[in-house]
Chain A
């Protein structure tokens, strides 16, 4: 599965937990990602933001 978004892609803990029906740490994202392209701008407890700076 490949996901693309123009300019900015945000993964929030809340929305993943809602879909999974269980608790989910953003670090777990590392187990699911096989390749990415872009710039990981933010990675904290609540969200992962992939976006270019400029």
Chain B
């Protein structure tokens, strides 16, 4: 394996003789990272093209067999409930386009990194990410035949307010240099946060009867072991090459931990509120996949190089029992402008929330839902008709609270060139002030609406521009999905009785 890898990967590289190396690889110096010996980059997988294609083909074959079986047997009717698919709408709209962007940028790294080892690893990852894009679209397209919210995810990713959260996160990484991208996506996203981001979606799928998503998830996650390794090798390589790289890498970890962590706010509410059958709470997932595995394992190892845990990690830990509640409460009130539905958490759901969040749910969030229950009794399910202020960095509505006080909204203000900019947290403010020239350019959906760039001045104008149709968003109960679901199941029950008679 070792010799084959050497022969098929590293030995295919050559030294340029009539052009300068810096002309062939012009992008690997401007970030200030110093590399002395590219051959020191380890790729423990020792993957060669033939082995790569053989196993990837096998993975695809297995997945598509499951997809066919599910479609042919009307498998969508065996989900726990149609409302489960809200998690998948969010995934298709918010995550799948990121896979494609990852494909693009790893293709760039496959051309622009100086060493043949990391170039080949980046090439494999680039092809993997294309595969993820395709398999996710194929898997979820089956639901698009029967349910709302799946039909315009690409355009929505570029336009809709809550999707600017993942989109701007990835755009931030794409517009960084190659080494910062490696730390941003390869390390922070693919290693530090990957289990926290993907395992909840896949476990949610398996708990709610969504075999196709579970299968594409496992299929994609099996590539993720290579991606995690690339991210970890990248950081170790940079830290080992030159001591001067350490403070640069540390600042990137500080930035990208917080950027990525803010995106996982969407996962937090999905786990605690969107799944009809719950898997684990956000708090539990955060404790296992982040606190135990990353702080307790990874950062112990990185301490050897002088790397410390990310700068604002304590703020993240401090909000693990309030995050999902605050985010869902906001999405609940704005889902009339979303391509997914939300609904009131019923008695069982609230009992589960109280059990999993003994310190916060009953005290802080149940009173909000009690008030909403009275609204519902009086026929007044409420939506917020105004537009929220967005954080200049993470682009999430300013819904977070002060680190030490869950009853006071957190709002940080910075001035740049005489203009005021608002951020949602210490982490986002620190990121803004480190690179204000970058973040003042943010395409903030609410500002864009006010500037007249989003289809028109009224809510229906904007929703039409978003490509949101009747049945895509709003309240789940009584929605098109809910009504269809009930009628399909009633019809199924009748035919069952009929066939027995």
Partners in one complex: yes
- Residue-wise, chain A 23-54 has the 8 Å CB interface mask toward B (1 for contact) of 00011101111111111111111000000111
A35 touches B45 (CB 8 A): no
B229 touches A34 (CB 8 A): no
Q: A41 and B195 in contact (CB under 8 A), knowing A31-B55, A35-B221, A52-B301?
A: no
B35 to A: closest C-beta gap in Å? 19
B232 within 8 Å of A by Cβ?
yes
A46 to B: closest C-beta gap in Å? 9
The interface residues of chain A lying within 8 Å CB-to-CB of B293 are: 37
Residue in contact with B228 in the complex, picked from A28, A36, A42, A54, CB distance below 8 Å: A36
Q: How many angstroms from the CA of A53 to the CA of B225 in the assembled complex?
A: 18
B199 within 8 Å of A by Cβ?
yes
Residue in contact with A44 in the complex, picked from B1, B221, B224, B225, CB distance below 8 Å: B1
Q: How many angstroms from the CA of A33 to the CA of B413 in the assembled complex?
A: 45
B226 within 8 Å of A by Cβ?
yes
B304 touches A54 (CB 8 A): yes
- Residue-wise, chain A 1-34 has the 8 Å CB interface mask toward B (1 for contact) of 0000000000000000000000000111011111
CB nearest neighbor in B for A25: B51
The interface residues of chain A lying within 8 Å CB-to-CB of B297 are: 37-38, 52
Tell me the dominant secondary structure on chain A's binding face. Answer: loop
B54 to A: closest C-beta gap in Å? 8
Interfacial residues of chain B within 185-242, with CB under 8 A of chain A in the complex: 194-195, 198-199, 202, 217-218, 221-226, 228-229, 232, 236
CB nearest neighbor in B for A41: B44
A30 touches B55 (CB 8 A): yes
Q: How many angstroms from the CA of A39 to the CA of B217 in the assembled complex?
A: 22
B385 within 8 Å of A by Cβ?
no
A44 touches B55 (CB 8 A): no
B44 touches A30 (CB 8 A): no
The interface residues of chain A lying within 8 Å CB-to-CB of B300 are: 52, 54
B225 touches A30 (CB 8 A): yes
The interface residues of chain B lying within 8 Å CB-to-CB of A34 are: 202, 217-218, 221-222
Q: How many angstroms from the CA of A26 to the CA of B46 in the assembled complex?
A: 11
B59 within 8 Å of A by Cβ?
yes
A33 touches B225 (CB 8 A): yes
Q: How many angstroms from the CA of A35 to the CA of B300 in the assembled complex?
A: 20
B228 touches A43 (CB 8 A): no
A40 touches B236 (CB 8 A): no
Residue in contact with A31 in the complex, picked from B45, B47, B58, CB distance below 8 Å: B58
The interface residues of chain B lying within 8 Å CB-to-CB of A45 are: 1
The interface residues of chain B lying within 8 Å CB-to-CB of A28 are: 55
Q: How many angstroms from the CA of A45 to the CA of B1 in the assembled complex?
A: 6
A45 to B: closest C-beta gap in Å? 5
The interface residues of chain B lying within 8 Å CB-to-CB of A40 are: 44-45, 225, 229
A44 touches B58 (CB 8 A): no
Q: How many angstroms from the CA of A19 to the CA of B224 in the assembled complex?
A: 26
Q: How many angstroms from the CA of A21 to the CA of B354 in the assembled complex?
A: 49
B2 within 8 Å of A by Cβ?
yes
CB nearest neighbor in B for A45: B1
B199 touches A44 (CB 8 A): no
B51 touches A35 (CB 8 A): no
Interface centre among B62, B223, B225, B293 (most CB of A within 10 A): B225
CB nearest neighbor in A for B55: A30
The interface residues of chain A lying within 8 Å CB-to-CB of B194 are: 35
Q: How many angstroms from the CA of A30 to the CA of B226 in the assembled complex?
A: 9
CB nearest neighbor in A for B228: A36
Q: How many angstroms from the CA of A25 to the CA of B198 in the assembled complex?
A: 27
Q: How many angstroms from the CA of A29 to the CA of B59 in the assembled complex?
A: 12
Q: A44 and B229 in contact (CB under 8 A), knowing A27-B55, A33-B222?
A: no
CB nearest neighbor in B for A32: B222
Q: How many angstroms from the CA of A24 to the CA of B224 in the assembled complex?
A: 21
The interface residues of chain A lying within 8 Å CB-to-CB of B228 are: 36
Q: How many angstroms from the CA of A39 to the CA of B222 in the assembled complex?
A: 15
Q: How many angstroms from the CA of A40 to the CA of B228 in the assembled complex?
A: 9
Residue in contact with B46 in the complex, picked from A37, A43, A54, CB distance below 8 Å: A43
B222 touches A30 (CB 8 A): yes
A37 touches B195 (CB 8 A): yes
B225 touches A42 (CB 8 A): no
Q: A31 and B59 in contact (CB under 8 A), knowing A40-B45, A53-B304?
A: yes
List the 10 closest A-B pairs by CB distance, nearest first: A54-B304, A52-B301, A34-B221, A34-B218, A37-B293, A43-B44, A40-B44, A45-B1, A40-B229, A54-B301
Query: Apart from A26-B1, A34-B217, A44-B1, what are 14 other A-B pairs with CB-CB below 8 Å?
Result: A27-B51, A28-B55, A30-B225, A31-B58, A31-B59, A33-B225, A34-B218, A35-B194, A35-B195, A35-B224, A40-B229, A43-B46, A52-B301, A54-B303
Name B residues whose Cβ lies closer than 8 Å to a Cβ of A.
1-2, 44-47, 51, 55, 58-59, 62, 194-195, 198-199, 202, 217-218, 221-226, 228-229, 232, 236, 293, 297, 300-301, 303-304
Q: What are 13 contact pairs spanning A and B, CB under 8 A?
A: A26-B1, A27-B55, A31-B58, A34-B221, A34-B222, A35-B199, A35-B225, A40-B225, A44-B1, A44-B2, A45-B1, A53-B236, A53-B304
